[in-house]
Structure 1
Amino acid sequence: MSIKETLHEAKIHAEEKLDNLEERFKEKKFSHELEHQMKKEVRDEHHLEKEINHEFNHDIKEGIKEAKHEYKADEKEAKHFAKELNKDIDEFEKQERKDQHEYAKLLKKQMEEEQ
Protein backbone atom coordinates (compact mmCIF):
# COMPACT_ATOMS: atom_id res chain seq x y z
CA MET A 1 0.00 0.00 0.00
CA SER A 2 1.34 3.34 -0.97
CA ILE A 3 1.61 6.42 1.22
CA LYS A 4 -1.05 8.12 -0.84
CA GLU A 5 -3.49 5.25 -0.26
CA THR A 6 -2.64 5.13 3.46
CA LEU A 7 -3.23 8.88 3.78
CA HIS A 8 -6.47 8.51 1.86
CA GLU A 9 -7.63 5.69 4.18
CA ALA A 10 -6.59 7.70 7.23
CA LYS A 11 -8.53 10.67 5.88
CA ILE A 12 -11.61 8.47 5.30
CA HIS A 13 -11.22 6.95 8.77
CA ALA A 14 -10.91 10.44 10.31
CA GLU A 15 -14.01 11.62 8.42
CA GLU A 16 -15.97 8.56 9.58
CA LYS A 17 -14.80 9.16 13.15
CA LEU A 18 -15.81 12.83 12.85
CA ASP A 19 -19.21 11.81 11.44
CA ASN A 20 -19.65 9.37 14.34
CA LEU A 21 -18.68 12.09 16.83
CA GLU A 22 -21.10 14.55 15.23
CA GLU A 23 -23.86 11.93 15.30
CA ARG A 24 -23.13 11.11 18.96
CA PHE A 25 -23.10 14.85 19.74
CA LYS A 26 -26.49 15.28 18.03
CA GLU A 27 -27.88 12.28 19.93
CA LYS A 28 -26.57 13.64 23.26
CA LYS A 29 -27.95 17.08 22.45
CA PHE A 30 -31.35 15.57 21.56
CA SER A 31 -31.26 13.46 24.73
CA HIS A 32 -30.43 16.53 26.81
CA GLU A 33 -33.22 18.58 25.19
CA LEU A 34 -35.67 15.72 25.73
CA GLU A 35 -34.63 15.42 29.38
CA HIS A 36 -34.98 19.19 29.82
CA GLN A 37 -38.44 19.15 28.20
CA MET A 38 -39.58 16.26 30.40
CA LYS A 39 -38.35 18.04 33.55
CA LYS A 40 -40.18 21.18 32.46
CA GLU A 41 -43.39 19.22 31.88
CA VAL A 42 -43.07 17.58 35.31
CA ARG A 43 -42.49 21.00 36.94
CA ASP A 44 -45.45 22.49 35.06
CA GLU A 45 -47.66 19.56 36.05
CA HIS A 46 -46.54 19.84 39.68
CA HIS A 47 -47.21 23.59 39.62
CA LEU A 48 -50.67 23.01 38.13
CA GLU A 49 -51.49 20.35 40.75
CA LYS A 50 -50.30 22.71 43.47
CA GLU A 51 -52.48 25.51 42.10
CA ILE A 52 -55.51 23.21 41.81
CA ASN A 53 -54.95 21.96 45.38
CA HIS A 54 -54.64 25.56 46.58
CA GLU A 55 -57.92 26.52 44.89
CA PHE A 56 -59.57 23.33 46.16
CA ASN A 57 -58.35 23.99 49.72
CA HIS A 58 -59.49 27.61 49.43
CA ASP A 59 -62.94 26.45 48.30
CA ILE A 60 -63.09 23.93 51.13
CA LYS A 61 -62.07 26.57 53.66
CA GLU A 62 -64.70 28.94 52.29
CA GLY A 63 -67.29 26.15 52.50
CA ILE A 64 -66.32 25.37 56.08
CA LYS A 65 -66.40 29.06 56.97
CA GLU A 66 -69.84 29.43 55.39
CA ALA A 67 -71.12 26.27 57.11
CA LYS A 68 -69.78 27.55 60.44
CA HIS A 69 -71.53 30.88 59.87
CA GLU A 70 -74.80 29.09 59.02
CA TYR A 71 -74.37 26.86 62.07
CA LYS A 72 -73.87 29.89 64.32
CA ALA A 73 -76.98 31.53 62.84
CA ASP A 74 -78.99 28.33 63.33
CA GLU A 75 -77.64 28.00 66.86
CA LYS A 76 -78.63 31.60 67.64
CA GLU A 77 -82.09 31.01 66.18
CA ALA A 78 -82.45 27.78 68.20
CA LYS A 79 -81.45 29.59 71.41
CA HIS A 80 -83.99 32.32 70.69
CA PHE A 81 -86.68 29.72 69.96
CA ALA A 82 -85.82 27.80 73.17
CA LYS A 83 -85.93 31.03 75.18
CA GLU A 84 -89.34 31.93 73.74
CA LEU A 85 -90.59 28.38 74.34
CA ASN A 86 -89.39 28.46 77.97
CA LYS A 87 -91.04 31.85 78.39
CA ASP A 88 -94.33 30.47 77.02
CA ILE A 89 -94.07 27.37 79.24
CA ASP A 90 -93.39 29.51 82.32
CA GLU A 91 -96.34 31.74 81.45
CA PHE A 92 -98.57 28.69 80.91
CA GLU A 93 -97.48 27.15 84.24
CA LYS A 94 -98.04 30.47 86.01
CA GLN A 95 -101.52 30.71 84.51
CA GLU A 96 -102.17 27.07 85.43
CA ARG A 97 -101.18 27.70 89.07
CA LYS A 98 -103.33 30.83 89.11
CA ASP A 99 -106.30 28.88 87.74
CA GLN A 100 -105.75 26.08 90.27
CA HIS A 101 -105.53 28.64 93.08
CA GLU A 102 -108.78 30.31 91.94
CA TYR A 103 -110.45 26.90 91.62
CA ALA A 104 -109.27 25.99 95.12
CA LYS A 105 -110.65 29.30 96.45
CA LEU A 106 -113.93 28.65 94.67
CA LEU A 107 -114.15 25.11 96.09
CA LYS A 108 -113.33 26.38 99.58
CA LYS A 109 -115.97 29.10 99.28
CA GLN A 110 -118.50 26.58 98.00
CA MET A 111 -117.73 24.18 100.85
CA GLU A 112 -118.10 27.00 103.39
CA GLU A 113 -121.47 27.96 101.92
CA GLU A 114 -122.68 24.38 102.10
CA GLN A 115 -121.90 24.10 105.80
Structure 2
Amino acid sequence: MVKQYPYSLWVQTQSGGAIKDANGNFLASSSVWVNTAPCRDEESAAGQTLTLEDSTVTEFASLIQLPTYCPVLSEGTPIEVREGNTVRVSGRVKRFSKGQLHSRLWV
Protein backbone atom coordinates (compact mmCIF):
# COMPACT_ATOMS: atom_id res chain seq x y z
CA MET A 1 0.00 0.00 0.00
CA VAL A 2 1.31 3.44 -0.94
CA LYS A 3 1.37 6.08 1.79
CA GLN A 4 0.39 9.62 0.83
CA TYR A 5 2.88 11.15 3.30
CA PRO A 6 5.67 8.61 3.96
CA TYR A 7 8.21 11.01 5.55
CA SER A 8 8.34 13.44 8.48
CA LEU A 9 8.78 17.23 8.39
CA TRP A 10 11.06 18.47 11.18
CA VAL A 11 11.19 22.19 11.98
CA GLN A 12 13.91 23.92 13.96
CA THR A 13 12.42 26.12 16.69
CA GLN A 14 13.81 28.17 19.54
CA SER A 15 13.13 26.70 22.98
CA GLY A 16 11.97 29.51 25.23
CA GLY A 17 13.41 32.99 25.49
CA ALA A 18 16.75 34.21 26.70
CA ILE A 19 17.59 33.28 30.29
CA LYS A 20 19.99 34.69 32.88
CA ASP A 21 22.85 32.63 34.24
CA ALA A 22 24.15 32.77 37.86
CA ASN A 23 26.25 35.86 37.01
CA GLY A 24 23.29 37.79 35.56
CA ASN A 25 24.43 37.35 31.95
CA PHE A 26 21.77 36.64 29.34
CA LEU A 27 22.15 33.34 27.49
CA ALA A 28 20.58 32.76 24.10
CA SER A 29 17.88 30.14 23.87
CA SER A 30 18.79 26.82 22.31
CA SER A 31 17.25 25.44 19.15
CA VAL A 32 15.24 22.22 19.05
CA TRP A 33 14.07 20.09 16.12
CA VAL A 34 10.32 19.35 16.32
CA ASN A 35 8.48 16.67 14.31
CA THR A 36 5.73 18.85 12.81
CA ALA A 37 3.81 16.82 10.21
CA PRO A 38 3.97 13.88 7.83
CA CYS A 39 5.05 14.88 4.32
CA ARG A 40 6.18 13.89 0.85
CA ASP A 41 9.07 15.57 -1.00
CA GLU A 42 9.45 16.09 -4.73
CA GLU A 43 12.85 17.01 -6.13
CA SER A 44 12.84 20.01 -8.45
CA ALA A 45 13.96 19.68 -12.04
CA ALA A 46 17.00 21.81 -12.81
CA GLY A 47 16.14 25.46 -13.28
CA GLN A 48 12.60 25.40 -11.86
CA THR A 49 11.76 28.79 -10.39
CA LEU A 50 9.36 30.21 -7.85
CA THR A 51 8.00 33.75 -7.55
CA LEU A 52 8.19 34.94 -3.93
CA GLU A 53 5.79 37.33 -2.19
CA ASP A 54 8.11 40.29 -2.87
CA SER A 55 7.90 39.45 -6.63
CA THR A 56 11.49 38.20 -6.83
CA VAL A 57 12.14 34.97 -8.70
CA THR A 58 14.33 32.25 -7.18
CA GLU A 59 15.19 28.63 -7.93
CA PHE A 60 14.02 25.93 -5.52
CA ALA A 61 15.46 22.49 -4.82
CA SER A 62 12.40 20.64 -3.49
CA LEU A 63 8.65 20.93 -3.14
CA ILE A 64 7.26 19.43 0.06
CA GLN A 65 3.61 18.28 0.09
CA LEU A 66 1.89 18.42 3.50
CA PRO A 67 -1.57 17.83 5.03
CA THR A 68 -3.76 20.89 5.58
CA TYR A 69 -3.34 20.81 9.38
CA CYS A 70 0.39 21.59 9.12
CA PRO A 71 1.07 24.95 10.83
CA VAL A 72 2.07 27.88 8.62
CA LEU A 73 5.86 28.15 8.43
CA SER A 74 7.61 31.49 7.97
CA GLU A 75 10.10 32.20 5.22
CA GLY A 76 13.63 31.36 6.35
CA THR A 77 12.61 28.70 8.89
CA PRO A 78 15.10 25.77 8.89
CA ILE A 79 13.44 22.44 8.00
CA GLU A 80 14.39 18.82 7.35
CA VAL A 81 12.47 16.00 5.69
CA ARG A 82 13.40 12.74 7.37
CA GLU A 83 12.84 9.08 6.63
CA GLY A 84 13.50 7.51 10.01
CA ASN A 85 16.95 8.84 11.01
CA THR A 86 17.95 9.69 7.42
CA VAL A 87 17.69 13.32 6.27
CA ARG A 88 16.28 13.41 2.73
CA VAL A 89 15.98 17.20 2.33
CA SER A 90 17.47 20.01 4.37
CA GLY A 91 17.12 23.75 3.88
CA ARG A 92 15.18 26.89 4.68
CA VAL A 93 11.59 27.71 3.77
CA LYS A 94 11.41 29.84 0.63
CA ARG A 95 7.60 29.89 0.45
CA PHE A 96 4.66 28.23 2.21
CA SER A 97 1.16 27.85 0.77
CA LYS A 98 -1.87 26.50 2.65
CA GLY A 99 -4.48 25.20 0.22
CA GLN A 100 -7.95 23.73 0.61
CA LEU A 101 -6.82 20.10 0.18
CA HIS A 102 -3.14 20.26 1.12
CA SER A 103 -0.28 22.59 2.00
CA ARG A 104 2.95 23.10 0.07
CA LEU A 105 6.40 24.21 1.09
CA TRP A 106 9.29 25.16 -1.19
CA VAL A 107 12.92 24.73 -0.08
Report if TM-score (shorter chain) is over 0.5.
Answer: no
Higher strand share: 2
TM-score normalized with structure 2 length? 0.16
TM-score normalized with structure 1 length? 0.15
Whose Rg is larger? 1
Higher helix share: 1
